[in-house]
Amino acid sequence: MVSLELKNVSLKRNGKWLLQSIDWQVNKQEHWVLYGLNGVGKTALLNMLCSYYFPTSGEMTVLGHVFGKEALGEKLRRKIGLISAGLEKKLHRDDNAFEIVLSGAFASIGLYETPTDEMREKAIDLLKAFGSFKYANRTYETLSQGEKQKKS
């Protein structure tokens, strides 16, 4: 099953081409890493995949959702886990690790809705899976850099 498919996708912002003619397919169960020099479009591509940006041209399908055919936004972001250096600057320093992980269920930074018991259990399971449950009640500002990256 295809999780992500880009066909001849290009992105232009503020009169500048950030991406041109990208063809890429990611299948279910595959893991990819984007790396490259500064300014080559890695962040622009990730922002596009999370529906913060929309392709200027080409066809893009993410998790079965076709860009341009339906409203995606938050619905899609709830299914995608994006971790970036920029995300850390947006986190609330007084939130604890459990709250940070739990906020991912809402595709938000911080909790603004009441989580279900199922969401809470999943957050606990994730903290345990990454060996971070012992930090669940520690505030973000008291975590080491490595511990912070595991939570964000």
Question: Each residue of 14-23: pLDDT tens digit?
Answer: 999 999 999 9
Q: Which of 34-38, 58-62, 87-91 has the lowest mean pLDDT?
A: 87-91
pTM of the predicted structure, to 2 decimals: 0.61
What does the pLDDT average to over 96-121?
Answer: 91
Q: Rounded to whole angstroms, what are the CA distances from 101 to 43, 94, 152?
A: 22, 14, 7
Q: Tell me: do 64 and 106 sit in the same domain.
A: no
Question: What span, in angstroms and rounded, lies between the C-alpha atoms of 102 and 122?
Answer: 8
pLDDT greater than 90 at residue 73: no
- Say whether pLDDT at 152 is over 60: no
> Looking at the 3D structure of the chain, how many domains does it have?
2
Q: Are residues 36 and 13 in the same domain?
A: yes
Residue 73: which residues within 8 A CB-CB, separation 6 or more?
A: 51
Residue 45 sits in the same domain as residue 13: yes
Please indicate, yes or no, whether residues 67 and 14 belong to a single structural domain of this protein: yes
CB-CB contact of 90 with 130 (8 Å): no
Same domain, 69 and 48: yes
Query: In this structure, what CATH number is given to the domain that contains residue 40?
Result: 3.40.50.300
Residue 68 has pLDDT above 80, yes or no: no
Q: Which domain holds residue 141?
A: 85-151
- The residue among 77, 96, 126 that closes a domain is 77
> Of 18, 46, 77, which residue sits at a domain end?
77
Residue the block writes with tokens 């709830």: 78
